[in-house]
Amino acid sequence: MKTEAMLYEKLDSGMTHCHLCAHECKISPSQFGICGVRQNVGGTLYTHVYGEVIASNADPIEKKPLYHFLPGTRSFSIATMGCNFKCGFCQNWQISQISKKYTSHPIGEEMLPEKIVELSLKNACRSISYTYTEPTIFFEYAYQTAQFAHRAGLSNVFVTNGYLTEEALRTIAPFLDAANVDLKSFSEQTYQKSYGARLQPVLNTIQTMHDLGIWIEVTTLVIPGESDSPEDLEGIAAFIAGVSKDIPWHISRFHPDYQYTQTEPTPFLTLQRAFEIGKKAGLRYVYLGNVSTENDTVCYSCNRVLIKRSGYSIQTLSPNPGVCPQCSAEISGVW
């Protein structure tokens, strides 16, 4: 649905300057931004994906992944087409890498914010997750849906590459309860070469989310030859610990997909090394993803198991996982 965009300004000669993400696109009349869904039409910036849901599902919150935010609950997950990154290994490339440049027809099912909230409640969800593609590029839709969600007692979650401007983040912050941010690498060169982006805005987003009180967890997909060096992993772990040692770090195994079909899956030893790097940096909660291994939440002080998991399912949940029953250590999260 074509809707006037938020967070932009009109420039001379019919140009528009989008302030939604850190690309800060200056868009000529009739042209699109990097995201492929925001277009300058006669000097006014429009989003073409408002209410056009290309994917939706009631997921375990653990699938986002969020392990310290309402564990054991379900989150109604939605996405529109498009993304502001061009990752060659994207697992959802069929929906993230398509563009409104090449079609004027709706892609997906029309679902207005009220309908999303209705479906969330019908499916016994505790939250709505804006995920699968990049929620920043359907910001107007997410922003209005998030307001309806809060009125209905639902929480809101962004699963994001973190490439928002501070203006966009502060705009949605009153309605955003949690986020999982992809910190793909700690190399500026890798960000520019592989994702067409910059590292610093992502780091800024993580710090600002933490400062604003948004519950945050970080995910790194460890790709052989791209984001698996000890220096890269040490940089990520040190940065997260510098923001807060209570931020969970999810280290995910890469599987070949999209344009990276010739790259081998991440060796398990590499993931174990990354886990040890995280612990050495002082991170209290480090988890491995996309592998068959235990991902229990344990007390950082006495190692008591507080949440026992099998895949995305909760097997055992402490009555009050925010406080260790054995040593009374406080366990950070939203319980």
| The pLDDT value given to residue 318 | 86
The amino acid at residue 134 is: E
| The pLDDT value given to residue 280 | 98
DSSP string, 262-319: TSPPPPHHHHHHHHHHHHHTT-S-EEEESSSS---EE-TTT--EEEEEETTEEEEE-S
* Long-range contacts of the stretch 304-312 (C-beta < 8 A, 24+): 306/331, 307/67, 307/71, 309/62, 309/67, 312/59, 312/60, 312/62, 312/63
Strand-pair category, 74-79 with 127-130: parallel
Q: Between vectors from CA 58 to CA 38 and to CA 165, what angle results, nearest 5°?
A: 30
Q: Are 212 and 158 in contact (CB under 8 A)?
A: no
SS3 9: strand
| The pLDDT value given to residue 107 | 85
The amino acid at residue 148 is: F
pLDDT tens track for 8-65: 999 999 999 999 999 999 999 999 999 999 999 999 999 999 999 999 999 999 999 9
The structure tokens 């868009």 sit at 27
DSSP annotation of 138 reads G
SS3 82: coil
pLDDT tens over the chain, length 335 residues: 899 999 999 999 999 999 999 999 999 999 999 999 999 999 999 999 999 999 999 999 999 999 999 999 999 999 999 999 999 999 899 999 999 988 777 788 999 999 999 999 999 999 999 999 999 999 999 999 999 999 999 999 999 999 999 999 999 999 999 999 999 999 999 999 999 999 999 999 999 999 999 999 999 999 999 999 999 999 999 999 999 999 999 999 999 999 999 999 999 999 999 999 999 999 999 999 999 888 999 999 999 999 999 989 999 998 899 999 999 999 999 99
Q: Are 31 and 101 in contact (CB under 8 A)?
A: no
Distances (CA, A) of 101 to 39, 51, 132, 181, 201: 9, 18, 20, 27, 26
Strand partners, 39: 32, 46
What does pTM read for this prediction? 0.96
| The pLDDT value given to residue 300 | 97
DSSP annotation of 137 reads G
Q: Are 82 and 98 in contact (CB under 8 A)?
A: yes
pLDDT tens track for 110-132: 999 999 999 999 999 999 999 99
Task: List helix spans (H) across 13-98.
Answer: 93-96
| The pLDDT value given to residue 228 | 96
Q: Are 253 and 289 in contact (CB under 8 A)?
A: yes
| The pLDDT value given to residue 150 | 98
